[in-house]
Amino acid sequence: MLQTKMARPSTVLRPYVWAYGTIFGTVLSEPLRIPLPARPKQLLTFSFADPYRVLRPESHEVHPSPRVTVAGPQTCARAGLSAFGTIDTFTIHFQPAGFYRLFGIPMTELTDGAYDAYGVIGVRLPGMEDELACTAGFAKRVELAERRLMGMLDNDAAPDPIAFAANRLFRRAGLQGVSAMAAEVNLSPRQFERRFLAQVGIPPKLYARIIRFNAALDSKLRSPGHSWTRVANEHEYYDQMHLLRDCRAFTGEPPERFLARLAPLPAFHAFYATEPVRIA
């Protein structure tokens, strides 16, 4: 039985971090298979017990995930995960441009991939992993991560209009046009798209579609009794068929089939949530 907890970041880190999360417990009867659709968030996950296994359907290969994994934003359904044994993970869910602003790595290098974080971040990780592993309890791990991340902030850096626009797009569930966002930060659409791509890893129009789909999926998971027509209307799809097309594009399946696989896995719903599911 797996459990999850979520916590919001401090006010200082909120422009960079969306939430902290933990998944813990045991899976002993048979492995859980977790589908991974397109998603907008960037994740840094520390695993302190049995690692997830990465399922690659195109090759039928299965590999253990690294102890510390950084995952960029995803534009389509790719590898899934399998969980078995003792699970104890701590995940930092970043804001759209948060990883770029803290670590300075162009997000186009991480889009549609998950990597050993040591090869991406380097020397800043070992101490953080060891300290988190030796820290008991989710709340204490959050405090430790906050201290480490605050130490990476450049207090003299000016506010970044691209990051502000990307974070606001996420808060608005993807419901804002590229021209409007560019105008708000006094850039041409082409300049805005180029800078947005470097910081977020996905062009803004496609990123907005992925956010909106994740918001619709989050809404359905929170309120399973709501019809797909209602969910489509609430998230400003033209009609239910419009949502169906996005679902097929981002999961490879129609909504009901994908939901049937995802709904029984509540511990992993935070991967797709647009608001923290449970707050510690």
Across the chain, mean pLDDT equals 90
The pLDDT value given to residue 280: 47
CA-wise closest residue to 80 among 56, 62, 111, 47? 56
Q: What is the pTM of this model?
A: 0.93
Dihedral over alpha carbons 250, 21, 199, 220 (to 10 degrees): 30
Joined tokens for residue 183: 């105008």
Number of C-beta neighbours around residue 59 at 10 A: 8
Residues comprising the chain, all counted: 280
Element containing residue 55 per DSSP (H, E): strand 53-56
Mean of the pLDDT values across residues 159-172? 90
Q: In order of start, what are the domains of the chain with their CATH numbers?
A: 2-155 (2.60.120)
Give tens-digit pLDDT for 221-246.
Answer: 989 999 999 999 999 998 889 999 99
Rg of the chain, C-alpha, whole Å: 18
Q: List CB contacts of 126: < 8 A, sequence separation 6 or more.
A: 118
Q: Which of 67, 199, 50 is nearest to 128 (CA)?
A: 67
What are the two backbone dihedrals, phi and then psi, of residue 75, each rounded to the nearest 5 degrees?
-100, -10
pLDDT confidence bin for 247, thresholds 50/70/90: very high
55-75 pLDDT, tens per residue? 876 656 778 899 999 999 999
Helix (H) or strand (E) holding 34: strand 17-34
129-144 pLDDT tens trace: 999 999 989 999 999 9
Question: Dihedral, CA atoms, 131, 136, 137, 140, nearest 10 degrees?
Answer: -40
Residue range 85-100: average pLDDT? Answer: 95
Q: What percent of the chain has pLDDT over 90?
A: 68
pLDDT band, very low/low/confident/very high, at 3 (cuts 50, 70, 90): very high
